[in-house]
Structure 1
Amino acid sequence: MTSAVTTEKSRPGYGQLLRTPGALSFLIPGFAARQPFAMLTIGIVLLVQHTTGSFGDAGIVATVTGISMALFAPQIGKLADRRGQSAVLIPTVIVHAASVVGLTSLALLDAPLWALALAAVPAGASVPQVGPMVRARWAAKLEGSPLLSTAAAWESVTDELTFVVGPVLATFLCTTVHPSAGLLTEAGLTLIGGLLFAAQRGTQPRPVPRLAGGEKHASALSFPGLRVLIVAFVGIGAVFGGMLISLAAFSEEIGNPGANGLLYGIFAGGNMIAGIACGTIAWKIGPRRRLILGYVGLTAAASVLWTVNSVFLLGALGLVVGLCIAPALITGYTMIEQLVPAASRTEAFTALTGAVAFGQAAAVTVAGRLTDAHGSSYGFLVPAAATALALLTLLALRSKLAPKAPSRVISTSQSPSNTSPAEPSARVNERVVGHRVPVTVD
């Protein structure tokens, strides 16, 4: 059921968002700094598979990287909340670049698998959390504004653009220049882009080293809604990881390794297209319902991937899967404002990013073993199983996604005292001074 205080004539657009004072100063370097994120896993897979001849071994190294990132990303976010983004980001990008160069060198020297896995730990643990930091900057600048959900859509589009450009660029470099070129480029872009982003100190959220009264900060993970979202994002990460390995294996099977970048780019392109569309829609249903409906579509699309055996059909179905991911991602990130207090939001955003990395890493390992043993079709079973399990979790724990303290609608013609007694049971979608906006009920 949906009710409204009054209806919006239009959804705030991207043009209005980009005119937010100070936005471009962090968006442009932020885009450059997050490009390497989409190149890391595919670069590791292609290099290690080249040196060892096994997708399974490549999957293990990529998995260690992803698990390290999943474990350390929330800690990086927590430090950024407490000490400031720039203070945390500068040493992080330096360590990451050095770690990736070390891992690349070991792979080229035919080091044993255990050594590659060991080197993957610091490479993953030091992945700069630029995307969550950008989202935290938006959340700080737009808190309570209807532009916040537009910003979430913009960030999803930006993320997916990196997943269009990154894998294609890494695959091109690894297959036409040198197997190590993808990872070395990733390290260089991380260092340069990260330092440029860290230099934008004026737009970073104010650090909160201690709460009023000396109280300790509550960890973002202590909020049950975030924990449910983490499960959903692990499933989404499994789609990315399963597609990455299975598309690479499929391209090898048909004798055209270069098709991998194109197919993955189509998949990511679908996500980007859906993200652009989501940013222009004035939603009439609550975010919890949107998340579940989006996940139902994603699970349905992922469940038939394993049946496809032609490039054309795989590209078309990959596009559909990509189209279904963006609504779930955007909605999940948008819900953070209602589920987690401002002092812990960077940690919350990095927890979701880490969940995607963990799901991707686990899927890369399982799909790698399955493709080595049975072929690419079996690798596509991983996204199907992961999304189905995550959907069941969402349905069972959907009550945890209800915000504890909904925002109030404030307008020039209606004071807070005039709100309906029934309002606490409703989810206020957004608030902005001087405008009335929809109030939706899940």
Structure 2
Amino acid sequence: MSASYARVLRIPHARRTFAAALTGRLSYGIVPLSVMLAVTRASGSYAVAGVVMALFSGTSVFLSPVRASLIDRHGPRRALVPMAGAYVALLGLLTVTVWRPGAASPLVLGAVTAAAGACTPPLGPTMRAVWGRLAPERALLQRAYSLDGVAEELLFVFGPLLVGVVVGVAPPAVGIIVGAALMAAGTAAFVSSPAVRDVRPGDTGAASRGKGRRRVLRGVRRPVIAAAGVGLALGVADLLVVAFAEGHGHGDDSVAWVLAALSAGSAVGGLVNGAVAWRSSAGVRLPLLAAGLGLALLGAGLAPGLGTLAALMAVAGLFVAPAITTAYLIADESAAPEVRVQAGAWVNTAVNAGATAGAAVAGVLVGPLSTGWSFATAGAVTLLAAAAAARGATHHGGAPADVGDGGAVAADRRQSSSPSRSS
């Protein structure tokens, strides 16, 4: 396993490019919590903070495919630099507005955060597209995507921990500054890497763009459905674990351990998935992985205590990173070369949108239903998403998405000039 991942990191320019992208993507684990804490402190209202965060996450998530299309059309250097510049500048403006309590109206706070979210640089989808250029062998690309997914999972663990350290010695607005600085440094290092400097904008002819849009929409339908199901499961699980712990007389520290088990399971599953030379195609594996997650949630509905729930959440996590990684593989393989970043962005958007919807659904379910039935309902919905993805695989069995992972990426994909949580 270590040799396989070591081979990924031995690819020329891979370590430098990946480290730069992760530096910038760490901002995504720091900025949202910092903004929420800073806005709450500045406005004195949880309601205002909730609306502001909804605007920030909404524009960041749902405009991700639009930003990705700019990367595809103009290339990462020409598109990422102005995006990152606007993002950092708007975060700086937000820092000024929240530095003193009551200094800015809720309308101003909402407008600035919404604009900042709209400019969020899509470093995650761009890095995954660059992986497609750096690792033309399908098996090697699978390992690269798995490594990327596990690293991303860790970013969303360490980011909030870093915010906790910052707010212990400084105002929450300092966390926004730290996140902005990481984005500026990471993006600058990323676009200066030879692996990114060599990328040129794709063919921007009208006919090519129209064909690319049709292909990306057709090719990502199945992975987007499955990714949305996984995201919904994650969004539901977060809130239901809190409700389960409270219902069984446990404190917030117990919630952290259960959610940590979910993340640990996801990391282990991602590493194992990338190390195995699968004989079945990604199109066949994707619905099975989503179904495994759904069954684990059904089992969580029967958990008698917190220890059993933590174990079942760890089992559920085993399917999370592999499912998302496989969805990215299918999207990358199905899309035209000139829309590869968009393809990954659609999967990314589906995961985040599903998580947002899952949190809302969990809030509705927890009232009239017990946590057991709520877990069972979430598991059933995830199984439906898996069935929809499997149905798509049956109807499009000859599509590029069903090419086996052991096969080589097509020559036009290797020569492409175009380059997750909202990273």
CA offsets 1:359-390 (integer angstroms, 9 cap, x no match): 22333444456669999889867854652442
- More divergent stretch after superposition (33-42 vs 180-189): 180-189
Aligned to 1:430: 407
Taking structure 1 as reference, are residues 213 and 319 closer, same or farther at Cα in structure 2, changes over 3 Å only?
closer
Shift of 1:276: 0.9
| One-letter amino acid of the counterpart of residue 146, structure 2 | A
TM-score when normalising by structure 1 = 0.76
Does the 8 Å contact 1:64/1:361 carry over to 2? Answer: no
Q: Secondary structure at the match of 1:146?
A: helix
Task: Map residues 286-435 of structure 1 onto 2, 5 A cutoff.
Answer: 286-305=281-300, 311-367=306-362, 383-384=378-379, 386-399=381-394, 402=397, 404=399, 427=404, 429-431=406-408
Q: Secondary structure at the residue paired with 1:86?
A: helix
TM-fit CA distance, 1:115? 5.9
CA contact (8 A) 2:130 2:195 kept: no
Which of the residues 232, 237, 241 maps onto 2:231?
237
Equivalent residue letter for 1:333: Y
Spell out the pairing of 1:179-258 with structure 2 (5 A cutoff): 182-204=175-197, 206-210=199-203, 215-217=208-210, 218-219=212-213, 222-247=216-241, 256-257=251-252
State whether residues 139 and 405 of structure 2, in contact with CA within 8 Å, keep that contact through their aligned partners in structure 1.
no
Give, in angstroms, the shift of residue 225 of structure 1.
2.8
Which residue is 1:164 aligned to? 157
Return closer, same or farther for 1:174/1:354 CA change in 2, 3 Å cut-off: farther
Q: Does 1:132 align with 2:109?
A: no
* Match for residue 67 of structure 1 among 38, 53, 58: 58
Look up the match of 1:97.
88
1:122 aligns with 115
- Distance in 1 (CA, whole Å) between partners of 2:275 and 2:391 is 30
Say how many residue pairs are matched: 405
User: Counterpart in 2 of 1:82?
Assistant: 73
Q: Which residue of 2 aligns with 1:417?
A: none
Counterparts of 1:65 and 1:113 in 2: how far apart (Å)? Answer: 13
Q: Secondary structure at the match of 2:120?
A: coil
Check conservation: 1:63, 1:361, Cα contact below 8 A.
no
Deviates more, 1:387-396 or 1:85-94: 387-396
What is the rounded CA distance, in whole Å, between the counterparts of 1:73 and 1:53 in structure 2? Answer: 29
Q: Of residues 25, 31, 36 in structure 1, which corresponds to 2:27?
A: 36
Contact 2:13–2:193, Cα closer than 8 Å, also in 1 = no
CA separation of 1:376/1:100 partners in 2, compared to 1, >3 Å: closer, same or farther? farther
- Higher normalized helix content (fraction of residues): 2
Q: CA deviation at 1:300?
A: 1.4
Larger mean CA deviation between 78-87 and 301-310 belongs to: 301-310
Q: For 1:205-234, what per-residue CA distance to the aligned partner results, in whole angstroms no more than 9, with x for missing partners?
A: 623343679743522664323022112212
Please give the secondary structure, in 2, of the residue aligned with 1:216: helix
Distance, in Å, in 2 between the alignment partners of 1:46 and 1:401 is: 47
> In 2, distance between residues paired with 1:180 and 1:200?
31
> Structure 2 length as normaliser, TM-score?
0.79
Distance 1:179 1:232 in 2: 36
Q: Deviations over 1:74-126 (max 9, x none)?
A: 12211112212122222222332344455564597467776655444223222
- Secondary structure of residue in 1 paired with 2:199: coil
Q: Tell me, what secondary structure is at the counterpart of 2:116?
A: helix
1:70: Cα distance to partner? Answer: 2.8
3-state SS in 2 of match to 1:328: helix
Q: Is 1:281 matched up with 2:276?
A: yes
1:143 shift after superposition = 2.7
**Contact between 1:242 and 1:364, CA under 8 Å: does it hold in 2?**
yes
Distance (Å, rounded) in 1 between the aligned partners of 2:290 and 2:147: 20
Structure 1 gaps of 5+ residues are 1-9, 407-424, 434-442
Q: C-alpha separation between the residues in 2 aligned to 1:109 and 1:373?
A: 39
SS at match of 1:21: coil
Aligned residue for 1:219, secondary structure, equals helix
Residues 204/389 of structure 1: CA separation in 2 closer, same or farther (3 Å cut): farther
Q: Residue deviations 1:37-87, cap 9 Å, x none? A: 234445556666777675x87655444333322332112211112212122
The Cα offsets for residues 260-294 of structure 1, whole Å up to 9 and x where unpaired, read as 55543332221111111112111121111211111
Cα distance, 1:327–1:130 mapped onto 2, change above 3 Å: same
Aligned with 2:14 (options 23, 31, 37): 23
Give the fraction of aligned pairs with identical amino acids, expressed as a percent.
24
In structure 2, runs of 5+ residues without a counterpart are: 411-423
Contact preservation (8 Å) 1:71, 1:354: yes
Deviates more, 1:349-358 or 1:221-230: 221-230
State how far apart, in whole Å, the 2-side matches of 1:41 and 1:339 are. Answer: 32
Q: What's the CA shift for 1:12?
A: 7.5
Distance 2:80 2:183 in 1: 11
